[in-house]
A and B are shown apart, each in its own frame.
Chain A
Amino acid sequence: MNLDSKIPEGPLSEKWSNHKFKMRLVNPSNRRKYKVIVVGSGLAGSSAASSLAEQGYNVSCFCYQDSPRRAHSIAAQGGINASKNYQNDGDSVHRLFYDTIKGGDYRSREANVYRLAEVSENIIDHCVAQGVPFAREYGGLLANRSFGGAQVSRTFYARGQTGQQLLLGAYSGLNRQIGLGKVKMHTRHEMLDLVIVEGHAKGIITRNLVTGAIDRHAADCVVLTTGGYGNVFYLSTNAQGCNVTATHRAYKKGAGFANPCYTQIHPTCIPVHGEDQSKLTLMSESLRNDGRVWVPKLSETAEKIRSGELDPNLVSEADRDYYLERKYPSFGNLAPRDISSRSAKEVCDEGLGVASSGLGVFLDFRDAIARDGEQAIRERYGNLFEMYNRITGEDPYKKPMMIFPAVHYTMGGLWVDYNLQSTIEGLFVGGEANFSDHGSNRLGASALMQGLADGYFVLPYTVGNYLGELGIDKAGSVTTSDPAFEAVEAEVKARIDRLLSIKGNRSARSLHKELGKIIWDYCGMARSEKGLREAIEKIQALKKEFWSNLSITGSASTLNIELERAGRVADFIEFGELMCRDALMREESCGGHFRIEHQTKEGEALRNDKDFAFVGVWGYNGDAKEPSLYKESLDFENVALATRSYK
């Protein structure tokens, strides 16, 4: 597998401009002869599709929802980073670059991250021009807030709905191009496979989710912006339909999959209420500014709280363990995401959890209310308290909130070079679907930035360069009558038939739940060699169970929600195994990946820069064989490697 990252020559700050200058251009009147497929309509997809269409290319865009506006990006709350330095607090492109490299625990590629920081400013300008209502100060200028992992205020936000407003902005640009006939939008279409002709990605096979029709779509290149794979855990903060299908299928067609084990677990989510639970809801991290995290010191006390016998407010000060404050006196309740999450798991493992399931810790505002008054707390967190109340039916002004960590984001993804091209020529990958910028841990408010950077300011250039290099005589040369399409379409149909013919006794949901539990237990917040080996065996057994005991009712030629789910779960099962393999291979702890064998005496993550400063890229070798590992070594020329400390 060729992992040439194609990083341009020259000093860091000049790489992108030099590279842009050297790119092949396509004559404006020739652009309409090319066709580009964009799969996904989230921030990355909508922005890429509309920008490419503005340049004159013909674009086909796909999403599984009934409207591009409903992509999962819509759910992002907190904000988007940019190095505008509007607060005059010392921010700069270089600082944003540095914070992102450090936040990612030194496992990302310097040149890509620098470019991300560089274009971050253009994103804000563009979004404002589109009418995105970012928060303003009374003077009419843009407001900022600060976010984890940074000492400057560089986060732009639109109330608690930043993702919604950014996506509606990108969607409006997309709509304009749809209206002009430059983008053909295919909603309720799911990409089920990738078509490669003579080594180049030239199309996809989709299923129309309403009619069940399997269709071929050909183009001069394919862009995947299909989001992250957090739902491999079954329960996550992701939307229900988020899936790994598009990227996993591309992997099986030869694209390298990078760092699948890098997943982010967010510490402040509402705990699981029971077996029926279908998703987890994030509570903003800002709550940890005033809430104190604790569990009882004794498991008997915890037991009484769990059974409802004891009101937690009656637990005396001496019987409470404010464990973050105890373990990390200087950061206290504001310890970073990975550390807070892991600590919550540890106390619950010791039987000290307080939710009825045993999996939950308190986030208590009692002292803050006594200190600042209920009104002040209401002003700061009113909407979050309301949301908590809506979901749990409890009043956090009177009773401590309960929280537990949940899967939130996936840093791993398809491997891409500096041009965001995967190991398959003509297959580009943007947004959460690629692995590129966040290393082993993503900083808050950086995913929205990356999705839009890729879609507005990187892909429109690099895709154009690829098409220019193809040459105009190649434009539109591959059609759906190429035998490659027929072959892949036959594979897709055979797989659907196979799913429908199992006629076993278990629903796809129950199998997905079982997978989620394995991944959560063994490849979640703390991983070990023994556990991961066990997990791989369990997943292999689950895969057999799936293919012999799945039950789907209905047919392939109608709207069939169970068939959709089953296809996604089948891919998650295979992918889950790859994740565990990657976690097993990575004999170190870094960012969101914590191997219990690799920790300091105090229980902190122990990186191994000597042996593991590389991107782990997996290549598929067929279902019967194990995948191969390829390495892209990471060279740090501008940032010195250091250990994070929060004591």
Chain B
Amino acid sequence: MNLNLKVWRQQGGQSKGKFEEYSLENVSEEASFLEMLDALNEQLISKKEDPVAFDHDCREGICGMCSMTINGEPHGPEKATTTCQLHMRHFKDGETITIEPWRARAFPVLKDLVTDRSAFDSVMQAGGFITARTGSAVDANEIPIPKGVLDEAMDAAACIGCGACVAACPNASAMLFTGAKVSHLNSLPQGQAEKERRSILMVEAMDSAGFGGCTNVGACESVCPKTISLDVIAKLNRDYHVSSIKKIMRF
């Protein structure tokens, strides 16, 4: 198939970007979206032009590296699918496809489609862990965990940290991402000791990293490639408020 591509090009963080148009011929329907971009880049290189920079690594939907907004939708049109798992058979011959980076204050563009998502790491560093020094653990079966509790924790733990939720949100809020980690750890027996601290510190880190507030739009849930549910936000809100009140009462 033949395609018209409108791709966001930006030299660096400080420069102004703009859309460039390219036409690409003979794209295989079997190719993945990123393989289509590889072909575009080969074409650009053969003309001695600068290839389009984009993030990617595993190309199987698990590392969370790929990150682009395709025709206005983070990760493109398919539900529960990362960009790297999107295939060209979902596009039509002759179609124009617009490709741009995540747009969010906390994710500044580094070049073309590559953004800096280290703000996510800083939220995790604030409290996204259970303190367990190597060598200090008890036998793994000493803490039985009901299957239902475990399954819920696992649902939340499936987040790949891609940032699509932030890119889709009109407020660029990171509540779905943060809620996923808090729900995972706060629902497990091992996570109880640090539950309050974690809830407060992660929300504070999220605010200071420049993410916006949540106004319950729900766009995050619909673009999330791992179908993380809005329930995690409700849980985060609950744990955060309870923890804040307890903190005040202790004063």
Residues in A lying within 8 Å of B, measured CB to CB: 47, 50-51, 54, 65-70, 72, 74-75, 84, 86, 122, 124-131, 133-142, 158-159, 161, 164-165, 168, 171-173, 175-176, 178-179, 185, 187, 210, 239-241, 273-274, 276-279, 281, 390-393, 456-457, 460, 505, 507, 509-510, 551, 553-554, 558-559, 561-562
Contact = CB atoms under 8 A, between A and B. Distances in A.
B189 to A, nearest CB: 9
A510 B185 CA distance: 45
Interface in B2-16: 11-12
Q: How large is the interface on B (under 10, 10 to 19, 20 to 34, 35 or more residues)?
A: 35 or more
Contacts, number: 215
Interface string B101-139: 000000000110010111011001110111111111111
A161 B133 CA distance: 24
A72 B57 contact: yes
21 contacts: A66-B65, A66-B118, A69-B64, A84-B140, A127-B140, A128-B143, A131-B185, A134-B140, A135-B150, A136-B146, A140-B144, A140-B147, A141-B144, A176-B125, A274-B28, A276-B35, A390-B87, A457-B134, A507-B45, A553-B48, A558-B12
A124 B140 contact: yes
B1 to A, nearest CB: 12
- Of A124, A128, A210, A509, most buried by chain B (CB within 10 Å of CB) is A128
A509 to B, nearest CB: 7
A3 B32 CA distance: 46
A130 B28 CA distance: 44
Contact of A133 (B132, B134, B184): B184
B136 A129 contact: yes
Given A131-B184, A561-B53, A122 B81 contact: no
Question: What is the predominant secondary structure among interface residues of chain B facing chain A?
Answer: loop
Contact of B191 (A68, A72, A131): A131
A72 B42 contact: no
Contacts of A510: 42
B147 A138 contact: yes
B235 to A, nearest CB: 15
A527 to B, nearest CB: 28
Interface of B: 11-12, 27-32, 34-36, 38-39, 41-42, 44-46, 48-51, 53, 55-60, 62-65, 81, 85, 87, 89, 110-111, 114, 116-118, 120-121, 124-126, 128-141, 143-147, 150, 153-154, 157-158, 160-161, 184-185, 188, 190-191
A516 B188 CA distance: 46
B49 A553 contact: yes
B117 A66 contact: yes
A391 B87 contact: yes
Given A179-B126, A553-B45, A562-B45, A70 B34 contact: no
Nearest to A127: B140
Contact of B57 (A138, A239, A281, A393): A239
B130 A75 contact: no
B102 to A, nearest CB: 12
A137 B149 CA distance: 11
A67 B141 contact: no
B188 to A, nearest CB: 5
B89 to A, nearest CB: 5
A126 B111 contact: no
A128 B189 CA distance: 10
B68 to A, nearest CB: 14
Given A131-B191, A135-B150, A507-B46, A69 B161 contact: yes
Nearest to B153: A133
Nearest to A240: B57
Given A67-B161, A133-B184, A561-B53, A175 B129 contact: yes
B26 to A, nearest CB: 10
Contacts of A161: 62, 158
A178 to B, nearest CB: 5
6 closest A-B pairs by beta carbon, nearest first, are A140-B144, A172-B129, A129-B137, A129-B132, A273-B30, A125-B137
